[in-house]
Amino acid sequence: MTNPNWFRTSYRRNLVDMHIEDWNPEFLSQFDPDKYYENLVRAHVKSPMIYLQSHVGHCNWDTKSGHRHQSFTDCTKKMQRLFDLCHQGGMDVVAYYSLIYNNDAYVAHPEWRLLDINGHGTRFDTGKGQYFGGSRYGLCCPNNLGYRDFVLKQLDEIFDLFTLEGIFLDMLFWTRPCYCDACKARWKAEHGGDIPTIINWNDPTWRAFQAKREEWMQDFAMMVTNKIKSRNPNCSVEHQFSTMMHGWRQGVNQNISIASDYCGGDFYGGAPQHSVACKLYYNMTANQPFEYMTSRCYPGLREHTTTKTEDMLRLSVMSTLAHHGAALLIDAIDPKGTLDSRLYDTYGKIYADAEKLEPYMEGKLVQDVQVLFNLEGKYNPDVNNVAVGTPRAADDSSPHTNAVMGACRSLQQMHIPFGVFSNWKPEKAEGAKVIVLADAYDLPQNAVEYVEKFVSDGGSLYMSGRVNPELVQKLTGIRLDGAFQAPMTYMAPTADGQPLFTDHNRDYPFAVTCGLQKMVMPNNFHGTVLATTVLPYDPPAQNGELHPDPSDGFDYTAPNARFASIHSNPPGRFTDIPSLIKTTYGQGTVVYSAAAFEMLDRPATAPLFANIMSLLIGTRQWSFASNAPQQVEIIEFEASEKNRRYINLINSQDSFQIPAICDFDVSVKLDAAPSQILSLPDETPLPFIYENGYATFHVAKLPICNFYAVEI
Ligand SMILES: [Zn+2]
């Protein structure tokens, strides 16, 4: 039996992509398990993830149920040799297996295919192979009984031949609504009728279909997890969960986390995405540490010979460690089966430094502000009543996701301790000083009830934009009457709100390009109006140009034919309609903003958002503070059993070379002066001062990451 706890102490992982076909006898012909293993040793890898199969479907073992990779000679023996070498070297082996994405199965069994509304499989694609969802990639439907049976047989073969600590199952998501016979039959049996064809978030049948897609994906994932556990209960299961914040189309909510021992997935979005994904994983995973994967290729896996700089790889690994997550770097094999050992020398430098920090991976993440991510809100309410299969239906935008990312960006830049939690487990926000609902439309009832009680019991809440109107009305008395129909709106501070707005004032109000809700105030409103709504000048009643020239094709009667200023829509109509208010509910405090302005990446956004957060916590104080530049991210863990705090600093500049950030202070809130503050991992004591409840130390230089321990 294998060690069921291997992943709890494993922070240095790697994966080598091997999606290689076999039509050329050269392909994978030079795969050498000893050389592969030497690279792992050189890279200081603790837990390699190794391909037993790929999106191509070819199996790297002598399979009976599928297609063995023809040019990868002696593949079973070579893979067993590699696994044995890793085990002898004290490494944990995780097997890679691609679900749904399987070209062999797609070709051999047309009846297994995932089909779009026109009955086309995924290799039917006008994108000519450039689109990730199609053409090169053959997808099988997880509802197809034949495919499900095939997957179970493949897993049995793997366990008959290999000893492994864990399995990673890739590609557990839908790329589109499936209209195959298996899905049609299952929908008819479980719901009745035909699968809906109009995306309409107000239609109960469409919503039921989306819920079924999530449920079916969980059912498929659980079938695989249960099979693996039946062969080895100690074998860890991780399903691909980079999809956590992707659009509704993928049918992923908490379903993948439920089927996994720990959360993990691959990301390519740079430092801001890294920061948010780690924090959401932290609150979504069944067990710590979560796993954060990214490629050594730049900008992504499409460029096989372009590699990230050492600075970029180090930033990626250390950002994960700063969140106490496990880092995984993805390489891609050369078609002939070789690896570039120079890369593993670079990994080795970074992972050797990471290894020294592993003893400090303990404690709980400090999350003064908790930003809610609604796993059921990954769609755009403005793209509604659209037929599946039309170009508009391909819209994958989610204003809620943008608003969450924006709120987190502001909190990170202003050095306010924060976390990200989901509607699935709202209780993860327990202990937070402030909850943020950023354009959080369509919040499920359990989350609404949690938030209401949180505020009623004395918590503080920030809400913005289209958050459930019933919740806004209950907590503030204000009724929302839809968004202003204007090309641009503004938030103008009142005298009470002016201190929040820094450079913006009534004459030069804060510009909003993301929609602003119209508040209808109750007669007995007992709160404070912090900002009002300003609209652009109305076009003149006589709309058309004075001297139109019909021959040039321009519509001289269009609403925007007349304007105040040709490049912009400056503020013109100053209303008394509030756009930002503060009030109380029960024992708690609420701020509602009619615009989810936090999604706008503007110079004034972060200061305004931080000032609102400070207004919400009142006389309480943040767990840390800093005068560091916005590019510094600060993460704190509290290890109360050891009377220790960990302060981790990340230089989150996304560039090939990362310049150091110098000369700033970090202050940690403590009830009494600490005994010492240590620089990690060498544990060198640092000078500090303790005053006003904060211990403050100076950071002379932050190259890419610095780690500290505060001993109480
Ligand atoms: Zn299907």
What digits encode the pLDDT tens for the residues 224-261?
Answer: 999 999 999 999 999 999 999 999 999 999 999 999 99
Give distance in angstroms: CA of 216 to centre of ligand 1.
Answer: 10
Give distance in angstroms: CA of 407 to centre of ligand 1.
Answer: 37
Give distance in angstroms: CA of 227 to centre of ligand 1.
Answer: 21
Give distance in angstroms: CA of 142 to centre of ligand 1.
Answer: 7
Residue from 310, 351, 306 nearest 328 by CA: 351
The whole-number pLDDT of residue 557 equals: 80
Strand order in the sheet with 632-639: 364-365, 632-639, 644-651, 705-711, 676-680, 684-686
pTM of the model: 0.97
**Phi, psi (rounded to 5 degrees) for 634:** -115, 130
Residue 587's CB is within 10 A of a number of other CB atoms, namely 10
The whole-number pLDDT of residue 126 equals: 63
User: Is the four-CA dihedral 330, 335, 337, 341 of positive or negative sign?
Assistant: negative
On the question of pLDDT at 131 being above 60, the answer is no
**Whole-angstrom distance, CA of residue 184 vs CA of residue 203:** 19
Give distance in angstroms: CA of 183 to centre of ligand 1.
Answer: 4
Give distance in angstroms: CA of 111 to centre of ligand 1.
Answer: 10
Percent of the chain whose pLDDT exceeds 90: 93
Residue 428 zone, left/alpha/beta (φ > 0; ψ -120 to 50; rest): alpha
In the chain, the domains with their CATH numbers are: 6-361 (3.20.20.80), 369-532+575-617 (3.40.50.880), 624-711 (2.60.40.1180)
Instruction: Tell me the two tokens of residue 408.
Output: 């987190």
Instruction: Read off the pLDDT of residues 418-467 as tens digits, 9 standing for 90 and up.
Output: 999 999 999 999 999 999 999 999 999 999 999 999 999 999 999 999 99
Instruction: Tell me the two tokens of residue 241.
Output: 């969960």
Q: Which helix (H) or strand (E) holds 272?
A: helix 270-284
Strand order in the sheet with 434-437: 418-422, 369-373, 434-437, 460-464, 588-593, 571-585, 528-536, 489-493, 510-512
The whole-number pLDDT of residue 559 equals: 73
On the question of pLDDT at 139 being above 70, the answer is yes
**Whole-angstrom distance, CA of residue 31 vs CA of residue 38:** 13
On the question of pLDDT at 542 being above 90, the answer is no
On the question of pLDDT at 133 being above 70, the answer is no
Instruction: Read off the pLDDT of residues 47-95 as tens digits, 9 standing for 90 and up.
Output: 999 999 999 999 999 999 999 999 999 999 999 999 999 999 999 999 9
Give distance in angstroms: CA of 70 to centre of ligand 1.
Answer: 30
The whole-number pLDDT of residue 540 equals: 81
Rg (CA), the chain: 27
**Whole-angstrom distance, CA of residue 480 vs CA of residue 518:** 6
**Whole-angstrom distance, CA of residue 513 vs CA of residue 486:** 9
Give distance in angstroms: CA of 141 to centre of ligand 1.
Answer: 5
Residue 432 near residue 419 (C-beta atoms within 8 A): yes
Instruction: Read off the pLDDT of residues 460-505 as tens digits, 9 standing for 90 and up.
Output: 999 999 999 999 999 999 999 999 998 899 999 999 999 999 899 9
Give distance in angstroms: CA of 394 to centre of ligand 1.
Answer: 18
Give distance in angstroms: CA of 205 to centre of ligand 1.
Answer: 18
Give distance in angstroms: CA of 393 to centre of ligand 1.
Answer: 19
Instruction: Tell me the two tokens of residue 139.
Output: 């997808």
Give distance in angstroms: CA of 98 to centre of ligand 1.
Answer: 17
Give distance in angstroms: CA of 116 to centre of ligand 1.
Answer: 9
Give distance in angstroms: CA of 144 to centre of ligand 1.
Answer: 7
- Tracing tokens 């040019």 back to the chain, one arrives at 71
